[in-house]
Chains A and B, each alone.
Chain A
């Protein structure tokens, strides 16, 4: 069964550094998402992406965050200057479109020191 893959599984970064989280969505999917989950808390939506542009974003997704689909297979989340409170699991998801469920990767654990 096709799946969403994320790398790295764990990223440790110093506060203030830039970090890029990578995702390979399911190959024929058109809609892409990033969510995060702080330890012990709910899964929170960050951003959705379709047709090479952001469709929707939450209040969490401020100017420190950006997303990109640099080629036909990868989807990335960049955090420009990380803060301690950015420590969380970051999940990528993809969907085939209307009425289709979103499928999630197993996440990248981001630890900011």
Chain B
């Protein structure tokens, strides 16, 4: 499994764009990059998944450079409700069938 490194915590203000970068230097060819969000006392919630370049959905964008050794989750115009822990996970294409390994994540605190 590719090891991931992400900041322990980040602070932001409402309305700002937040970029959380994850390093995964030993990512394998078949690995996908997946981000989850977790609020206190709730289950992890899938945000976005990508393999290369850029992926965008209604809540976030995921930027993956050509070497795929890192990725950046971008949250546009955050609000107080985006305060949560964000997890970067890297695993092969069978993530639908295999165990997910969660790290400690990045604790994002959004201030008014």
Contacts and interface: CB of A to CB of B under 8 A. Distances in A.
Contact of B97 (A4, A45, A50): A50
Interface residues of B, number: 23
B46 A103 contact: yes
Contacts of A4: 43
B97 A31 contact: yes
B3 interface: no
B43 A109 contact: no
Interface string A80-107: 0000000001010101111111111111
A99 B12 CA distance: 32
Interface string A52-71: 00011010000000000000
B104 A42 contact: yes
Contacts, number: 70
B97 A105 contact: no
Given A42-B103, A42-B104, A43-B102, A101 B96 contact: yes
B60 to A, nearest CB: 13
A97 B97 CA distance: 6
Contacts of B42: 106-107
Interface of A: 4, 31, 33, 35, 42-45, 48, 50, 55-56, 58, 89, 91, 93, 95-107, 109
11 contacts: A42-B103, A43-B87, A48-B97, A48-B98, A56-B99, A95-B95, A98-B93, A98-B96, A101-B34, A106-B41, A109-B41
